[in-house]
């Protein structure tokens, strides 16, 4: 291999070139000023190239030093990126799964103990994100996402289609819950989380202008939390509300349960195809989804 200066000397040189000061470079690298100075001098002697012009306490890169600093910075950055990718790469017993925060909180977490009981050595790493993940960039083995499917570059399997219904905390409005669709329309409502009150009202047969909501939140997880706190009634995906309905923490209100436009999908990259850890996850997920769907009633009732 071609000769290379010692890595500590290269790091010292890059820091001094970037910061313009041996004192600041020493502080950043947790070294003494003399150690930095010695490393720079030794590297110049070894390369037989003057990297800095010294004018008293001032340092100025030579033309050769400026070019070398740019190249060294790029090379150190590439080494750092390669190292980060290496140490964060999932191990054979670690499964990195991308999920939606709302799906994780209100559907997945409660079911994960079953996976751990069946496959005790499998370590699941959940990475929540609001949108579609680049599985290769984020080094994910697979992801659960919502959408219309048909994505390029990934394998995909439909998990289930969701629905939406209107729910409230049992203590909302002092327990005087809406008893008709018209009362739902007039009640304090929360909007957001990817659902449409207008679509629900159209299917519920409510005509005329829609009364404004008292609160809008862009995150479905926060919509559920606000409804649980009694801040308003919410139109929520059934997958997020079902366990809360069964426990009685939420109650269904009058009106239709309508389809949610985007189903849940399991997606995975080519490198995960056939991998044992992914197959264990996929088989388990298929099973719990089937159990969840089989246990749904035509319209949920409080526990």
Task: Say if residues 282 and 144 touch (Cβ distance below 8 Å).
Answer: no
Q: Is 164 exposed, middle or buried (0-12, 13-18, 19+ CB in 10 A)?
A: buried
CA–CA dist 187, 33 (Å, integer): 69
pTM of the model: 0.72
146 and 286 fall within a common domain? yes
Range(s) of the domain holding residue 169: 163-259
Q: What tens digit of pLDDT does each residue of 24-48 get? A: 999 999 999 999 999 999 998 989 9
Q: Please identify, among 38, 68, 88, the residue that sits at the C-terminal boundary of a domain.
A: 88
185 and 250 fall within a common domain? yes
The whole-number pLDDT of residue 303 equals 47
The whole-number pLDDT of residue 185 equals 92
- CATH assignment at residue 33: 1.10.10.10
The whole-number pLDDT of residue 84 equals 76
Task: For residue 303, tell me if it sits in a domain.
Answer: no
Strand partners, 167: 234, 252
């Amino acid at each position: 291999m071609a000769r290379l200066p010692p890595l500590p000397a290269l790091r010292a040189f890059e820091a001094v070139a970037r910061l313009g000061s041996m004192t600041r470079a020493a502080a950043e690298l947790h070294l003494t000023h003399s150690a930095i100075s010695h490393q720079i001098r030794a590297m110049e002697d070894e390369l037989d190239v003057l990297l800095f012009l010294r004018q008293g306490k001032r340092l100025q890169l030579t033309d050769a030093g400026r070019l070398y600093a740019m190249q060294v910075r790029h090379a150190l950055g590439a080494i750092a990126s390669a190292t980060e990718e290496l140490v964060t790469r999932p191990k054979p017993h670690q499964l990195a799964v991308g999920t939606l925060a709302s799906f994780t909180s209100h559907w997945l977490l409660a079911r994960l103990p079953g996976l751990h009981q069946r496959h005790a050595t499998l370590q699941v790493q959940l990475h929540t994100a609001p949108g579609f993940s680049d599985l290769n960039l984020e080094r994910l083995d697979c992801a659960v996402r919502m959408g219309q499917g048909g994505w390029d570059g990934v394998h995909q399997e439909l998990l289930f289609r969701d629905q939406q219904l209107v729910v409230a905390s049992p203590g909302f409005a002092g327990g005087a819950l809406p008893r008709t669709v018209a009362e739902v329309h007039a009640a304090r409502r929360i909007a957001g989380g990817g659902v449409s009150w207008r679509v629900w009202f159209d299917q519920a047969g409510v005509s005329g202008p829609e009364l404004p909501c008292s609160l809008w939140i862009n995150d479905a997880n926060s919509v559920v939390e606000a409804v649980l706190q009694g801040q308003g009634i919410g139109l929520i995906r059934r997958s997020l509300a079902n366990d809360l309905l069964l426990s009685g923490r939420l109650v269904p209100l009058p009106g239709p349960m309508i389809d949610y436009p985007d189903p849940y999908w399991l997606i995975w990259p080519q490198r995960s195809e056939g991998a044992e850890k992914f197959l264990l996850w996929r088989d388990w997920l298929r099973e719990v989804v089937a159990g969840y769907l089989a246990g749904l009633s035509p319209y949920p009732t409080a526990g």
